[in-house]
């Protein structure tokens, strides 16, 4: 997006596309953007010097009108804009208001060096966390997204989607109790709460403009105190991705909740295209024409059928044979789906209701612990209540399970996405 706007990026003196904050030069000619500077200067996180459309266009035009390349480069570096974007010809667009940030790429990927804080995780701890990432993949429905690789050994496989799932789904569970000081964990949970708010299906303008803005401003201020520590040698802790969080409220006010313009959907579609291309090559090479058939009729076969009276629910053929695993589920209203029962019942004539198809679910509810030290719903593996049969209309969402303890009987954290990603269809 920044390229479309012809932004110079971290090499410019004013690297932010939304405001005119002055960067501080650090390693590799990169400019970092802490609000509170080591020299005592500061920008108010809640009152940044925002770029306006007219200023943006004037700055871009001034670069275009430079009489020499050297002068154009000087002006580009000073303003952070390389020239007039071709999209500026569209009167319906406003710079920078029409170009909201993509939440997927704001997930901070910070590799902090040793500072004066107690937030560095020991290698053995990181290895343990990595193993839990992989284990959680076995108990997380694919509707949540692709499996998260081992963060200790497979960081090179991480995509923006992996970082999103890691941050919002896994990290709150696997990082609990890992830091020597709890404030780092609490601070991290604050970011997860902010992300989840940004992905809500609906948000009031008043909440975004006041509460959310204040929460993000405080989070970034605390972040700089914990990790940047107002130390010039630690400038790399303050990249644009951290600063850009401060612009999220305006992005939402301009463009709506961030799921309406984040790249999750675009990247999923791109991955689907790549899979089809690879699938075709494998199909031809190994003559797997039937097994890898993605033609429309085969898709229809895979997509199941609808039962009258149960709008929005599709029943698929069973994919597994033999008894289903009994290693699933958790707390209050959580449970393991054992079986779907579809049948038509012939009601006696004296009943007013006409005969109709029924779709029921056999559920094994999990046992909720009476007292739980965890800040999220959990259940102990294998602890269930008696099986219940309920109408499938009462099922609301898929649940992921993440191993939550390091010793004793296995305890799973239960995680659902009521408003986004895997369960978005439900909210629609
Ligand atoms: Zn900015």
CA 8 to chain centroid: 27
If you measure from the C-alpha of residue 67 to the centroid of ligand 1, how many angstroms do you get, rounded to a whole number?
Answer: 29
Q: How far is CA 25 from CA 33, 117, 233, in A?
A: 9, 24, 11
With a cut of 60, say whether residue 425 has pLDDT above it.
no
With CA atoms as reference, report the closest residue to 149 among 136, 312, 53.
136
If you measure from the C-alpha of residue 53 to the centroid of ligand 1, how many angstroms do you get, rounded to a whole number?
Answer: 14
Q: What is the dihedral of CA 338, 340, 345, 350, to 10 degrees?
A: 60
| Total tally of structural domains belonging to the chain | 1
If you measure from the C-alpha of residue 189 to the centroid of ligand 1, how many angstroms do you get, rounded to a whole number?
Answer: 23
Q: What's the pLDDT at 17?
A: 93
Q: What's the pLDDT at 216?
A: 96
HSE of 397 in the Cβ direction (CA atoms, 13 Å)?
A: 20
If you measure from the C-alpha of residue 280 to the centroid of ligand 1, how many angstroms do you get, rounded to a whole number?
Answer: 45
DSSP bridge pairs for 239: none
If you measure from the C-alpha of residue 33 to the centroid of ligand 1, how many angstroms do you get, rounded to a whole number?
Answer: 8
If you measure from the C-alpha of residue 244 to the centroid of ligand 1, how many angstroms do you get, rounded to a whole number?
Answer: 6
With a cut of 50, say whether residue 111 has pLDDT above it.
no
* Average pLDDT score, the chain: 82
End-to-end CA distance of the chain: 28
Q: Looking at the domain assignment, is residue 406 inside a domain? A: no
The SS3 of residue 81 is strand
If you measure from the C-alpha of residue 48 to the centroid of ligand 1, how many angstroms do you get, rounded to a whole number?
Answer: 7
Q: Are 23 and 232 in contact (CB under 8 A)?
A: no
DSSP bridge pairs for 361: 340, 390
If you measure from the C-alpha of residue 409 to the centroid of ligand 1, how many angstroms do you get, rounded to a whole number?
Answer: 48
Q: What's the pLDDT at 38?
A: 87
Backbone dihedral angles phi then psi of residue 396, each to the nearest 5 degrees? -115, -35
If you measure from the C-alpha of residue 81 to the centroid of ligand 1, how many angstroms do you get, rounded to a whole number?
Answer: 14
How many Å apart are CA 146 and CA 164, to the nearest integer? 11
If you measure from the C-alpha of residue 97 to the centroid of ligand 1, how many angstroms do you get, rounded to a whole number?
Answer: 12
With CA atoms as reference, report the closest residue to 404 among 380, 385, 368, 369.
380
CA 204 to chain centroid: 21
How many Å apart are CA 259 and CA 103, to the nearest integer? 8
With a cut of 50, say whether residue 107 has pLDDT above it.
yes
Angle (CA) 226-232-238 rounded to 5° is 55
If you measure from the C-alpha of residue 414 to the centroid of ligand 1, how many angstroms do you get, rounded to a whole number?
Answer: 36
Span 149-198, pLDDT tens digits: 998 888 888 877 788 888 888 888 988 888 888 899 999 999 989 988 88
If you measure from the C-alpha of residue 235 to the centroid of ligand 1, how many angstroms do you get, rounded to a whole number?
Answer: 16
Q: Looking at the domain assignment, is residue 187 inside a domain? A: yes
Angle (CA) 340-342-346 rounded to 5° is 145
What residues make up the domain containing 54? 9-119+179-262
How many Å apart are CA 252 and CA 261, to the nearest integer? 10
What is the DSSP track for 270-299?
HHHHHHHHHHHHHHHHHT-TTTT--SHHHH
If you measure from the C-alpha of residue 14 to the centroid of ligand 1, how many angstroms do you get, rounded to a whole number?
Answer: 9
State both tokens at 114.
């040793």
State both tokens at 391.
């109408």
Strand order in the sheet with 411-416: 378-380, 411-416, 399-403
If you measure from the C-alpha of residue 222 to the centroid of ligand 1, how many angstroms do you get, rounded to a whole number?
Answer: 17
How many Å apart are CA 167 and CA 174, to the nearest integer? 10
With CA atoms as reference, report the closest residue to 246 among 18, 11, 26, 8.
18
Length of the chain: 428
Residue 42 DSSP code: B
Q: Is the peptide bond before 96 cis (omega within 30 degrees of 0)?
A: yes
State both tokens at 273.
């295209």
If you measure from the C-alpha of residue 267 to the centroid of ligand 1, how many angstroms do you get, rounded to a whole number?
Answer: 26
- Continuous segment of H or E residues that includes residue 337: strand 335-345
Q: What percent of the chain has pLDDT over 90?
A: 29
Q: Looking at the domain assignment, is residue 214 inside a domain? A: yes
What is the DSSP track for 383-419?
-BPPPEEEEGGG----EEEEE--SSSS-EEEEEE-SS
Q: What's the pLDDT at 228?
A: 92
With a cut of 70, say whether residue 10 has pLDDT above it.
yes
If you measure from the C-alpha of residue 344 to the centroid of ligand 1, how many angstroms do you get, rounded to a whole number?
Answer: 60
Q: What's the pLDDT at 351?
A: 63
With a cut of 60, say whether residue 296 has pLDDT above it.
no
Q: What percent of the chain has pLDDT over 70?
A: 86
Q: What's the pLDDT at 406?
A: 78
Q: What's the pLDDT at 390?
A: 83
Q: Looking at the domain assignment, is residue 174 inside a domain? A: no
Q: Looking at the domain assignment, is residue 385 inside a domain? A: no
If you measure from the C-alpha of residue 21 to the centroid of ligand 1, how many angstroms do you get, rounded to a whole number?
Answer: 6
CA 324 to chain centroid: 30
Q: Looking at the domain assignment, is residue 207 inside a domain? A: yes
Span 392-402, pLDDT tens digits: 877 877 888 88
Q: Looking at the domain assignment, is residue 349 inside a domain? A: no
Q: Looking at the domain assignment, is residue 185 inside a domain? A: yes
If you measure from the C-alpha of residue 22 to the centroid of ligand 1, how many angstroms do you get, rounded to a whole number?
Answer: 9
Span 237-291, pLDDT tens digits: 899 989 999 999 999 999 888 888 887 777 777 777 877 787 778 878 888 777 7
How many Å apart are CA 401 and CA 366, to the nearest integer? 12
Q: What's the pLDDT at 16?
A: 94
Rg (CA), the chain: 26
With a cut of 80, say whether residue 71 has pLDDT above it.
yes
pLDDT band at 376 (very low <50, low <70, confident <90, very high): confident
- Weakest-pLDDT range from 131-140, 305-314, 345-354: 345-354
Residue 236 DSSP code: G
If you measure from the C-alpha of residue 51 to the centroid of ligand 1, how many angstroms do you get, rounded to a whole number?
Answer: 9
If you measure from the C-alpha of residue 247 to the centroid of ligand 1, how many angstroms do you get, rounded to a whole number?
Answer: 7
If you measure from the C-alpha of residue 114 to the centroid of ligand 1, how many angstroms do you get, rounded to a whole number?
Answer: 27
With a cut of 90, say whether residue 59 has pLDDT above it.
yes
If you measure from the C-alpha of residue 204 to the centroid of ligand 1, how many angstroms do you get, rounded to a whole number?
Answer: 23
Q: How far is CA 314 from CA 202, 310, 317, in A?
A: 26, 8, 10
């Amino acid at each position: 997006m920044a390229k479309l706007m012809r932004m110079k990026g971290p090499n410019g003196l004013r690297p932010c596309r939304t405001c005119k904050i002055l960067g501080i030069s650090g390693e590799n000619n990169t400019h970092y953007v802490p609000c509170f500077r080591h020299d005592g200067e500061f920008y108010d996180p809640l009152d940044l010097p925002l770029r306006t459309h007219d200023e943006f266009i004037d700055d871009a035009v001034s670069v275009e009108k430079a009489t020499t390349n050297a002068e154009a480069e000087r002006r580009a570096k000073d303003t952070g804009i390389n020239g007039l974007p071709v999209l500026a010809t569209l009167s319906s667009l406003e710079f920078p208001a029409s170009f909201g940030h993509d939440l997927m790429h704001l997930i901070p990927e910070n590799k902090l060096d040793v500072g004066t804080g107690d937030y560095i995780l020991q290698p053995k701890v990181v290895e343990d966390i990595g193993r839990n990432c992989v284990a959680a993949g076995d108990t997380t429905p694919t509707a949540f997204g692709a499996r998260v690789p081992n963060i200790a050994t497979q960081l090179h496989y991480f995509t923006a989607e992996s970082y999103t799932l890691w941050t919002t789904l896994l990290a709150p569970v696997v990082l609990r109790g890992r830091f020597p000081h709890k404030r780092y964990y609490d601070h991290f949970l604050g970011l997860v709460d902010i992300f989840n708010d940004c992905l809500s299906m609906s948000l009031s303008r008043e909440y975004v403009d006041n509460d959310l803005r204040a929460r993000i401003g405080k989070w970034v201020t605390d972040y700089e105190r914990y990790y940047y520590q107002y130390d010039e040698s630690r400038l790399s802790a303050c990249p644009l991705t951290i600063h850009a969080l401060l612009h999220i409220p305006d992005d939402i006010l301009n463009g709506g909740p961030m799921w309406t313009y984040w790249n999750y959907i675009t990247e999923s579609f791109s991955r689907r295209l790549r899979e089809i291309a690879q699938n075709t090559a494998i199909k031809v090479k190994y003559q797997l024409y039937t097994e890898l058939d993605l033609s429309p009729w085969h898709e229809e076969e895979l997509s199941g059928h609808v039962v009258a009276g149960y709008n929005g629910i599709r029943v698929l053929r069973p994919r597994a044979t033999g008894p289903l695993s009994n290693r699933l589920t958790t707390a209050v209203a959580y449970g393991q789906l054992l079986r779907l029962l579809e049948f038509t019942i012939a009601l006696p004539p004296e009943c007013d209701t006409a005969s109709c198809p029924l779709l029921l679910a056999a559920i094994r509810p999990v046992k909720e612990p009476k007292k739980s030290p965890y800040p999220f719903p959990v259940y102990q593996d294998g602890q269930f209540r008696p099986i219940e049969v309920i109408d499938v209309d009462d099922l609301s969402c898929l649940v992921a399970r993440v191993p939550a303890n390091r010793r004793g009987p296995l305890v799973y954290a239960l995680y659902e996405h009521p408003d986004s990603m895997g369960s978005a269809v439900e909210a629609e």
